[in-house]
């Protein structure tokens, strides 16, 4: 099979028939063999009934329905597991992405050696309150991940080589960082394609303003996990040592100062009357806490089932 189109959806009943017909038209025009995997993320409207009737009309449609709403990442993960096509395309269900982009995306993966092609909504039809934080978010992600050729990490329209989707695990709300996950998994040919973007036709956005806070927290998690998951002590250890040493040096300074005062017969303050004493106390305590956290994290990661999971490219 050439192409699997994975569509995560939550309460998108109005858009689905139009989207499905459009994808079918593009696929038939280019004679692709394909499947459309619709993952209903616990919709409360009639989305599932719509999917059932679409499946009755078109044998290429398959549907998966969650019992409750788990989020876009979960829906993508399940869609990725089910996908059988050589090229996997994800797109939002709300008709903001155009299926007309599929042939070029397919060509880039199939014939031009790309592992992942991410859409870039160069001209966006979203409110300013969304586009400005998104710019900031993208530039931070770019510099932290080293993927400097992407302008738009969170575009719903993306294409993947099959290997990529079978090697990565999208969980929590990590769908915003799939290119980063792909890079960690060793897929380096990550490209970008300018795509058309439309205003939302039906319904409303499914993510509130909290998306930005969550997005940045996830960004920190993903870099911590990507870099230190297999060696957490390398993160906590140095911080602990630095903090501990600061505390020890201050303590030594306080002791020497007091001894000198005694030796010289000059007036001195009690060690506990000096602000520095409390600073040293805090620094030593935090230092040892960080160290212990490092040990515990090492024990946790030793028990992780994927502690020895590596992505092997080839064996001869």
Residues near Mg ion, by CB under 5 A: 92, 94, 96
Q: Which is nearer to ligand UDP, 37 or 290 (CB)?
A: 37
The item of ligand UDP, Mg ion, none sharing an interface with residue 23, based on CB under 5 to 8 Å by kind, is none
Which residue from 5, 9, 50, 117 is in contact with ligand UDP, where contact means CB under 6 A?
Answer: 9
Q: At what angle do helices 16-30 and 102-110 cross, to 10 degrees?
A: 50
The item of ligand UDP, Mg ion, none sharing an interface with residue 235, based on CB under 5 to 8 Å by kind, is none
The item of Mg ion, ligand UDP, none sharing an interface with residue 9, based on CB under 5 to 8 Å by kind, is ligand UDP
Q: Which is nearer to ligand UDP, 48 or 291 (CB)?
A: 48
Sheet holding 61-65, edge to edge: 61-65, 34-40, 3-9, 87-90, 158-161, 116-120, 190-194
The item of ligand UDP, Mg ion, none sharing an interface with residue 206, based on CB under 5 to 8 Å by kind, is ligand UDP
Contact between residue 87 and residue 106 where contact means Cβ atoms under 8 Å apart: yes
Question: To which H or E segment does residue 285 belong?
Answer: helix 275-303
- Phi and psi angles of residue 117, each rounded to the nearest 5 degrees, phi first: -120, 120
Signed CA dihedral, 67, 70, 76, 82: sign only: negative
Which residue from 3, 5, 6, 8 is in contact with ligand UDP, where contact means CB under 6 A?
Answer: 8
Which residue from 41, 101, 152, 192 is in contact with ligand UDP, where contact means CB under 6 A?
Answer: 41
Residue 156 binding ligand UDP, by CB under 6 A:
yes
Radius of gyration of the chain (CA): 26
Contact between residue 213 and residue 168 where contact means Cβ atoms under 8 Å apart: no
Residue 93 binding ligand UDP, by CB under 6 A:
yes
Q: Which is nearer to ligand UDP, 12 or 192 (CB)?
A: 12
47 CB contacts (<8 Å, ≥6 apart)?
A: 9, 10, 11, 12, 13, 16, 40
134: buried, middle or exposed (CB in 10 Å: 19+, 13-18, 0-12)?
A: buried
CB of 203 to ligand UDP, least distance (A): 8
Size of the site for ligand UDP (CB under 6 A): 17
Contact residues: ligand UDP, CB under 6 A? 8-10, 12, 41, 69, 71-72, 75, 92-94, 96, 156, 205-207
């Amino acid at each position: 099979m050439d192409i699997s189109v994975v569509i995560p959806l939550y309460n998108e009943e109005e858009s689905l028939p139009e989207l499905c017909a459009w994808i079918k038209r593009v696929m038939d025009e280019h004679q692709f063999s394909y499947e459309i995997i619709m993952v209903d993320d616990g919709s409360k409207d009639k989305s599932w009934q719509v999917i059932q009737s679409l499946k009755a009309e078109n044998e290429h449609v398959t549907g998966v329905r969650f019992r409750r709403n788990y989020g876009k990442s979960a829906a993508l993960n399940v869609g990725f597991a089910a996908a059988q096509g050589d090229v996997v395309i994800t797109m939002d269900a709300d008709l903001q992405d155009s299926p007309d982009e599929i042939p070029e995306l397919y060509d880039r993966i199939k014939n031009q050696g790309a592992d992942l092609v991410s859409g870039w909504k160069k001209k966006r039809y979203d409110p300013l309150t969304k586009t400005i934080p998104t710019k900031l978010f993208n530039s931070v992600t770019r510099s932290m991940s080293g993927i400097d050729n992407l302008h738009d990490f969170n575009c719903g329209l993306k294409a993947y080589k099959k290997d990529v989707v079978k090697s990565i695990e999208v969980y929590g709300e990590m769908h915003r960082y799939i290119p980063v996950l792909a890079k960690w998994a060793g897929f380096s040919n990550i490209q970008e394609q300018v795509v058309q973007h439309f205003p939302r036709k039906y319904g409303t956005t499914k993510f509130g303003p909290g998306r930005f806070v969550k997005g940045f927290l996830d960004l920190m998690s993903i870099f911590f996990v990507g870099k230190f998951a297999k060696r957490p002590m390398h993160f906590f250890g140095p911080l602990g040592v630095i903090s501990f040493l600061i505390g020890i040096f201050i303590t030594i300074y306080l002791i020497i100062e007091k001894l000198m005062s005694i030796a010289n017969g000059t007036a001195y303050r009690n060690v506990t009357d000096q602000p520095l004493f409390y600073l040293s106390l805090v620094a030593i305590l935090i230092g040892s806490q960080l160290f212990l956290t490092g040990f515990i994290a090492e024990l946790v990661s030793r028990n992780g089932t994927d502690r020895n999971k590596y992505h092997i490219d080839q064996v001869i």
